[in-house]
């Protein structure tokens, strides 16, 4: 389960980065 949690965390981090980019514009 630990591996699965890490993958999910990575996905949310990527989404947060995309949102941050949109906010900057």
The pLDDT tens digits for 1-25 are 567 777 767 777 778 777 777 777 6
> What per-residue confidence (pLDDT) applies to 16?
78
> What per-residue confidence (pLDDT) applies to 2?
67
> What per-residue confidence (pLDDT) applies to 1?
57
Neighbours of 8 (CB within 10 A): 10
Q: How far is CA 9 from CA 1, 5, 13, 20, 24, in A?
A: 12, 6, 6, 16, 23
> What per-residue confidence (pLDDT) applies to 19?
78
Detail the DSSP E strand segments found in the chain: none
């Amino acid at each position: 389960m630990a591996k699965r949690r890490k993958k999910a965390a990575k996905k949310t981090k990527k989404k947060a980065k995309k949102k941050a980019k949109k906010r900057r514009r």
